[in-house]
Structure 1
Amino acid sequence: MKASAVAYKPVGLALGALGGALAGVAFKQLWKGLGHEDDAPNATDEDRSWREILIAAVLQGAVFAAVKASIDRGGAVAVRRLTGTWPD
């Protein structure tokens, strides 16, 4: 394993935690902006329809995936700029 990859691991973990927090905030704002309540429905929420639960799940997954990909890519680009090598 390359030294840059080893050095990137703790940075990647920290960026992942930050990304998760940012994605949570982004999804909450998106859900609220779509005219829904502050909190998205849980899968076991008896008072919510299948449609609403599945739409919330799909949107949440898409937001988290997009934020994760953005953070991972940005971190890798930063490592390359600093070290000259791409982390694995």
Structure 2
Amino acid sequence: MSAVAKAIYKPLSLATSVLGGIAAGMVFKQIWKRIGDNDPEAPNPKDLDRSAREVLIAAVIQGAIFGLVKAAIDRAGATGYRAMTHESPV
């Protein structure tokens, strides 16, 4: 990847990652509202009134959603970059 292409790709990749994190958070909140006993907020790991099971399940779901969204956005960004520049971003 050329220096100019790298200079363009890095900020765009960062911006899409931030937007992806926001989108993943919104998706997680919607999913948690449906499966979390009508609780609008996921349990805080430091809240000892919530069960460890509930906290860990929420963390697993949240991690899976963030990982999926990050991979999808990174893949789409790399594909779009290659389509425009005919170079691999790696």
Answer yes or no: same fold by TM over 0.5. Answer: yes
Q: Deviations over 1:64-84 (max 9, x none)?
A: 000000000000000001101
Number of aligned residue pairs: give it. Answer: 88
Structure 1 residue ranges without an equivalent (≥5): none
- Structure 2 match to 1:6: 7
- Structure 1 match to 2:55: 53
* Moved segments of 4+, more than 4 Å: none
Structure 2 residue ranges without an equivalent (≥5): none
Equivalent residue runs for 1:64-79 within 5 Å: 64-79=66-81
TM (normalized to structure 2)? 0.91
Q: Deviations over 1:24-77 (max 9, x none)?
A: 000001111214311000110111000000000000000000000000000000
Indicate the structure whose relative CO is greater, using CA pairs within 8 Å and at least 6 residues apart: 1
TM (normalized to structure 1)? 0.93
* Identity among equivalent pairs (%): 53
**Letter paired with 2:70:** K
Over aligned residues, Cα RMSD in angstroms?
A: 1.2
